[in-house]
Structure 1
Amino acid sequence: APRPERRDLGDLKISPLALKIAQEQGADIREVAASYPGQKIGKKEIFEFIEARKEKTKSVGPAPSPDEEIRPLTGALRAMAEHMAVSAQTAARVTTVAEVDMTELAKLRTALKEKFKRDYAVKLTFIPFVMKAICAGIQEFPILNASLRRDEIILHRSVHIGVAVDTGQNLLVPVVKDVPQKSIVDLGREVQRLTGKAREGKLSLQDIQGGTISLTNAGVFGALLATPIIHQPQSAILWIGKVMETPVVRDGQVVIRSMMYLCLSYDHRIIMGAQAVQFLQIIKRTLENPYELLIP
């Protein structure tokens, strides 16, 4: 039988079958490669790595009581749990919050959503607008688009935004590349494509690598506030909540506006509080004046 085609991943080489197995089992391919330095990675190495990980973490616990159900932590869920723990132990995480008036953007979305569906086959959400607002903030405060590597701060010239997707089984973060160069239509189409692939379990390694900052939307589930964990090795993640009709004071009058919370978690080792607050204020101003975002 012919040997499987091998795919270059930077300095790594892995067969398509091995890559598929690693994704299904939640194995970080770079951790696998570290266990087999200089070798080409096939399915044999993937299975050996998975078994070694199981043995390493295996422990004997008390027998479950009749009212307990034991579920093994395996695959992608285990990989996510390990990543969350590493991030919480690594970054000096701080979360700051701002409130944004989404009334004008909600009107704009309502006016455009049928056109987007008809002309572009895109379901228009707030996400593309928030992504463009993040880029506006990074333009003024590039430190939010940076990573810390030992004693070096790496400022990324490109903006690649990871968008969290709840698949019902786990949380995946596919990456939209080169966001500043894309239009609202382009971003809507790309988010829709990656979200679909995530929920179908068809994301490639390229789809989930290279993020420089992340965005997560729990507002669709009714959440208002959160303190999100940073996706390593990034230094910031923006969380957006539910848009709610809220009484607010404008020009001395109480009026009803569509309000939403922005929650920014950032690594205080390299990002100062004043920078984070001003970054959020740029996002707020951009979203409150959304029409300019439609200009190519």
Structure 2
Amino acid sequence: MASEIKIPNMGESVSEATISNILKSSGSFVKQDEEILELETDKVNQVLYAPESGELTLQVKKGDIVKIGQVIGTINPPTVEQTLKSSDKKPPKPIEPAFPPPSNGKAKFTTSDFVSSLQQSTVSPQPTPIVEKEANTSRKQMSSLRKIIAQRLVEVKNTTAMLTTFNEVDMSSVIAIRQKEQESFQKKYGIKLGFMSFFIKACVAALKEIPEINAYIDKEDIVFVQSYDICVAVSTDRGLMVPVIRSCEQHNFGEIEMQLSAFAQKARDGSISVDDLKGGSFTITNGGVFGSLLSTPILNPPQSAILGMHSIVKRPVVIDDEIVIRPMMYLALSYDHRLIDGKQAVLFLKHIKQTLEEPSRLLLDL
């Protein structure tokens, strides 16, 4: 009896996927657990394996969009002959003679016979399609992942009232703590103390003060998220991945840094899972690692706000009526104005600024 091939469950928030690559063609013989095709969602890629050995029949092609649970093909149990063929090596192909054998009962194959045979066997070549090339350009097919990302970004722009507000933070205190504690931190946790863990902790404190930033709109309701599950954008060759660090208020700096490092590695080698990416109520993106001085980050739906970090640059600032040089960073908060008022967005950034300039506030939960 034939076995059905179904699209597996790929996470709560995933309802459909794209056939990004077919690894075994329809009609071929496959072995159990052999890779059949690749599925691609707006979050991750996943390989689909043969549930058993047999003859593969596929009802989809590359680029098709499929639903979770959809039957896309079958595997018919192998016959005895197919089983033997799959285990035996194919015999070498016999070498074709350079000249055709004598025909028409002739012992000799004359020059005229050779010319005549060529005329009979010659097939008119198919016309080569003409491909017009544009000057100084090249083309590359957009991946399914990039198509879905593009669609979602346009959807965010068209369905939200997105605004961005800015502030700047003096990073002197954070830099001083990192320099002072770096060696002991690395000995204890086996990883460097970065800037992101400071920002995550500062965001948690600010989210507690202004819960609307940690909420989202669902039709006519406002859903307030009671946990602090923060997404951190990670850039990869395939595109932007946004894994979630859950319950950030319960983790110390070392635990957060270790999770960040593990997610970054998994995103780069393609082993990140749907569970790593689903959920989250607030996002942080760091364009500063690429040298960005200022930007307006776009929302990560259905979330209502996203924080953008940028390069740390030494600039002259006025402190106590004196001009001094300080390592400064611009912060950007993009938010959905349907839910979040300008006052709340400004106060949220101000709270983060104060926390980072006086990190002792984290100890007092201010």
Return the TM-score normalized by structure 2: 0.67
Alpha-carbon distance, 1:181 to partner: 1.1
CA distance in structure 1 between the partners assigned to 2:13 and 2:300 by the alignment? 23
CA distance in structure 2 between the partners assigned to 1:221 and 1:27 by the alignment? 23
| Alpha carbons of structure 1 residues 292 and 48: separation in structure 2 relative to 1, 3 Å | farther
Partners of 1:64 and 1:70 within 8 A in 2: no
SS in 2 for 1:79: helix
For residue 21 of structure 1, the aligned residue among 35, 38, 49 is 38
Deviates more, 1:74-83 or 1:94-103: 74-83
The number of residues matched between the two structures is: 270
Instruction: Map 1:1-296 onto structure 2 (within 5 A).
Output: 9-10=11-12, 21-22=38-39, 25-26=40-41, 50-52=63-65, 64-293=133-362
CA distance in structure 2 between the partners assigned to 1:271 and 1:88 by the alignment? 16
State the one-letter code of the partner of 2:41: G
State the one-letter code of the partner of 2:246: K
| Alpha carbons of structure 1 residues 17 and 198: separation in structure 2 relative to 1, 3 Å | farther
Partners of 1:103 and 1:257 within 8 A in 2: yes
Partners of 1:184 and 1:293 within 8 A in 2: no
The structure, 1 or 2, with the larger RCO (C-alpha pairs under 8 Å, 6+ apart) is 1
Unaligned runs of 5+ in 2: 17-32, 45-57, 67-130
State the one-letter code of the partner of 2:38: I
CA distance in structure 2 between the partners assigned to 1:12 and 1:208 by the alignment? 11
CA distance in structure 1 between the partners assigned to 2:321 and 2:258 by the alignment? 41
| Alpha carbons of structure 1 residues 244 and 88: separation in structure 2 relative to 1, 3 Å | same
The percent identity for this pair of structures is: 35
SS in 1 for 2:64: helix
| Alpha carbons of structure 1 residues 151 and 48: separation in structure 2 relative to 1, 3 Å | farther
Partners of 1:27 and 1:50 within 8 A in 2: no
SS in 2 for 1:137: helix
Match of 1:32 in 2: none
Q: More strand per residue: 1 or 2?
A: 2
CA distance in structure 2 between the partners assigned to 1:126 and 1:52 by the alignment? 40
Partners of 2:241 and 2:267 within 8 A in 1: yes
1:237-266 alpha-carbon deviations (Å, 9 max, x no partner): 000111111111111111111111110000
| Alpha carbons of structure 1 residues 221 and 13: separation in structure 2 relative to 1, 3 Å | closer
Alpha-carbon distance, 1:280 to partner: 0.6
Unaligned runs of 5+ in 1: 30-43, 54-61
CA distance in structure 2 between the partners assigned to 1:11 and 1:253 by the alignment? 53
Alpha-carbon distance, 1:48 to partner: 6.1
Return the TM-score normalized by structure 1: 0.82
CA distance in structure 1 between the partners assigned to 2:213 and 2:15 by the alignment? 32
CA distance in structure 2 between the partners assigned to 1:254 and 1:204 by the alignment? 49
CA distance in structure 2 between the partners assigned to 1:8 and 1:171 by the alignment? 19
1:120-157 alpha-carbon deviations (Å, 9 max, x no partner): 11222110110111111111100000111111111100
| Alpha carbons of structure 1 residues 212 and 64: separation in structure 2 relative to 1, 3 Å | farther
Q: Which has the larger radius of gyration?
A: 2
CA distance in structure 2 between the partners assigned to 1:286 and 1:26 by the alignment? 38
Structure 1 segments (4+ residues) deviating >3 Å: 1-14, 26-29, 47-50, 291-296
Deviates more, 1:76-85 or 1:264-273: 76-85
Over the aligned positions, Cα root-mean-square deviation in angstroms equals 3.2
Alpha-carbon distance, 1:82 to partner: 1.8
Q: More helix per residue: 1 or 2?
A: 1
State the one-letter code of the partner of 1:130: F
| Alpha carbons of structure 1 residues 12 and 200: separation in structure 2 relative to 1, 3 Å | closer
